[in-house]
């Protein structure tokens, strides 16, 4: 046991516990289930609720979980959600009945886990055990687990879920999951369980993923085969094996993820009305997913920078940080560009272990002006390095580049606001870190 735990108790500040968690294991990411499973088994945490849904995928996990949660809550079920990473507060990671828990609940749970573990755990292993413990205490009907990284060796995979969902598959986290879609698909397929429903929202399914699901005898439900969706002007239709829903309201999350959630509901043993689904689609949203910030949120920023509100641009935040997410973002921006008279300005910060070229390439044609910002921390990338990558892409595309660098996100935002008016749009994007840091400015 690390000596730093001597002074940590159930009533110690959450910040102290999180600092301990960040430094308690010799590797920040150490995939494997042996350490965490032994603790979970000893504490009877492997069944946190009568019904468990596990959601994996390269992109779309958070929004899919959010719609699942919203619908189940509206249908009257008691629901817990474990998600990651957080934007501003650790407390965001665990929701029970759509509420974050107070610091005291987390520190008490950490103390309980610390008392019973026999070897060091990673930050994510520790937080996963704590979430399962909190869910078990809350006596829930359903728990929704969002996979942290991959699937097969992710800490959430100690739980045998009743339904497993894979939203999408693309190249990301190559150091841990492999550099091709087949290997990544196999890793993500590790959340499937024998003879249980496996929902696949990825239209281009890797063969190894499908073979693994079939070898387990899963009840496979695939996009464009077992269920379909189609956008119809201001509404959309969804058609499954048993249910057809027409003229559904468009929502604030990607339709592909909403459709994947609906495919999941078709496999659940719960009574959910069409009206509940329609209401949930109208209400569902998740911070940082192509989110347009409301005026009351932006007023303080305008005041701090002495920029007249009448001249303040629309501001959008997006946590997208890989090529797959960037393609979706480019589609959204292209549609937005047709509706505005001004320019689209990006404030962009990307971690150095991400595929910056793959992220920036599809966005270069739709963004008129760039402010490349430096992100702090050991994974942070300098604004100058990002600027150089942009230059290389622009030369390859014969694209005229309008870009600046900034030593911090705050400075980048200030620069962007100085060049924009009410006719323009500022997009803050590139990572959870970028969006989280921006939200702290508000």
CATH number at residue 164: 3.40.1190.10
Same domain, 310 and 239: no
Does 32 share its domain with 130? Answer: yes
Q: Is the pLDDT of residue 8 over 50?
A: yes
Q: Are residues 254 and 309 in the same domain?
A: no
Give the count of domains, the chain: 2
- Pair 296, 273 in one domain: no
CA distances in angstroms from 156 to 33, 413, 424, listed in the order given: 9, 37, 42
Confidence of residue 24 (pLDDT cuts 50, 70, 90): confident
CA distances from 35 to 25, 152, 153 (A): 11, 15, 11
**What confidence tens digit (pLDDT) does each residue in 339-356 have?**
999 999 999 999 999 999
Q: Residue 220: in which H helix or E strand, if any?
A: strand 219-222
345 token code pair: 């300005």
CATH assignment at residue 433: 3.90.190.20
Domain that holds residue 239: 3-283
Q: Round to the nearest angstrom and report the end-to-end CA distance of the chain.
A: 40
Q: Based on the domain organization, do 126 and 264 belong to the same domain?
A: yes
**Final residue belonging to a domain, choices 228, 253, 283:** 283
Cis ω before 85 (30° cut-off from 0) = yes
Instruction: Please compute the mean of the pLDDT values over residues 330-342 and round it to a whole number.
Output: 97
CA-CA distance, 288 to 129, in Å (whole number)? 26
Q: Which residue has the higher pLDDT, 4 or 436?
A: 436
- Which tokens hold the place of 416? 């962007």
What pLDDT is recorded for position 31? 75
Confidence band (pLDDT; 50, 70, 90) for 338? Answer: very high
User: Beta partners for 80?
Assistant: 96, 143
**For residue range 253-289, what is the model confidence (pLDDT) as tens digits?**
999 999 999 999 999 999 999 999 999 999 999 999 9
- Please choose, from the candidates 415, 414, 405, 410, the residue with its C-alpha nearest in 3D space to the C-alpha of residue 372: 405
| Domain closes at, from 222, 255, 283 | 283
Distance CA(271)–CA(243), nearest Å, equals 13
Q: pLDDT per residue over 9-18, tens digit each?
A: 999 999 999 9
Q: Where a domain ends, among 283, 311, 333?
A: 283
- Please report the DSSP string for 10-46 in residue order: TTS-HHHHHHHHHHSSS-S----SHHHHHHHHHTT-S
What pTM was estimated for this model as a whole?
0.93
Per-residue confidence at 396, pLDDT binned at 50, 70, 90? Answer: confident
**CB neighbours of residue 76 within 10 Å:** 11
Do residues 356 and 272 share a domain? no
**Are residues 88 and 183 part of one domain?**
yes
- Give tens-digit pLDDT for 122-176: 999 999 999 999 999 999 999 999 999 989 999 999 999 999 999 999 876 566 5
Asked if residue 279 and residue 297 are part of one domain, the reply reads no
pLDDT for residue 1: 41
Instruction: Work out the pLDDT band at 319, boundaries 50, 70, 90.
Output: very high
Same domain, 315 and 190: no
pLDDT at res. 399: 81
> 3-state DSSP call for residue 373?
strand
Q: What is the pLDDT of residues 209-227, one digit of tens each?
A: 999 999 999 999 999 999 9
Mean pLDDT to the nearest integer, 183-199:
97
What's the rounded mean pLDDT across residues 395-405? 90
Q: Examine the pLDDT at 7 and tell me if it is beyond 90.
A: no
Q: Is the pLDDT of residue 320 over 70?
A: yes
- Asked if 229 and 324 sit in the same domain, the reply is no
Asked if 93 and 188 sit in the same domain, the reply is yes
What percentage of the chain reaches a pLDDT higher than 70?
A: 97
Do 141 and 91 reside in the same domain of the chain? yes
Q: What pLDDT is stored for residue 5 in this prediction? A: 47
Task: Note the pLDDT of residue 176.
Answer: 58
pLDDT for 30 equals 74
């Amino acid at each position: 046991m690390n000596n730093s735990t001597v002074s940590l108790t159930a009533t110690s500040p959450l910040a102290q516990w999180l600092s301990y968690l960040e430094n308690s294991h010799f590797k920040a990411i150490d995939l494997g289930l042996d350490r965490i499973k032994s603790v979970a088994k000893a504490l009877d945490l492997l069944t946190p609720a009568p019904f468990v849904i596990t959601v994996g995928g390269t992109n779309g996990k958070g929004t899919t979980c959010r719609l699942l949660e919203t619908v189940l809550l509206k249908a009257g079920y008691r629901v817990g959600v474990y998600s990651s990473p957080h934007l501003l507060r650790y407390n965001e990671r665990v929701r029970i009945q759509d509420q974050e828990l107070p610091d005291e609940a987390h520190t008490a749970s950490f103390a309980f886990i610390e008392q019973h573990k026999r070897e060091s755990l990673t930050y994510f292993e520790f937080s996963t055990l704590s979430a399962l413990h909190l869910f078990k205490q809350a006596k829930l009907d359903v728990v929704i687990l969002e996979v942290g990284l991959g699937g097969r060796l992710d800490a959430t995979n100690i739980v045998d879920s009743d339904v497993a969902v894979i939203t999408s598959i693309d190249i990301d986290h190559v150091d841990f999951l492999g550099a091709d879609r087949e290997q990544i698909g196999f890793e993500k397929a590790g959340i499937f369980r024998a003879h249980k429903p496996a929902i696949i929202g990825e239209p281009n399914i890797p063969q190894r993923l499908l073979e693994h699901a079939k070898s387990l005898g899963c009840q496979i439900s695939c996009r464009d085969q077992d269920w379909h969706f189609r956008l119809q002007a201001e509404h959309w239709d969804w058609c499954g094996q048993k249910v057809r829903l027409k003229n559904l309201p468009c929502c604030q999350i990607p339709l592909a993820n909403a459709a994947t959630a609906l495919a999941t509901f078709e496999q659940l043993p719960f009574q959910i009305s069409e009206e509940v689904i329609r209401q949930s689609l109208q209400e569902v949203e998740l911070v940082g997913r192509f989110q347009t910030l409301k005026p009351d949120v932006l007023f303080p920023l305008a005041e701090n920078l002495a920029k007249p509100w009448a001249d303040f641009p629309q501001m959008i935040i997006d946590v997208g940080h890989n090529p797959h997410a960037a393609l979706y973002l480019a589609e959204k921006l292209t549609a937005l560009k047709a509706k505005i008279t001004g320019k689209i300005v990006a404030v962009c910060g990307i971690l150095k272990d991400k595929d910056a070229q793959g992220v920036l390439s599809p966005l270069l044609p739709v963004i008129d002006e760039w402010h490349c910002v430096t992100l702090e921390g050991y994974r942070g990338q300098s604004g100058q390095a990002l600027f150089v990558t942009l230059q290389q892409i622009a030369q390859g595309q014969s694209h005229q580049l309008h870009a600046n660098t900034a030593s911090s996100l705050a400075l980048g935002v200030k620069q962007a606001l100085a060049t924009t008016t009410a006719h323009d749009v500022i997009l803050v994007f590139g990572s959870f870190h970028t969006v989280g840091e921006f939200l702290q400015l508000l």
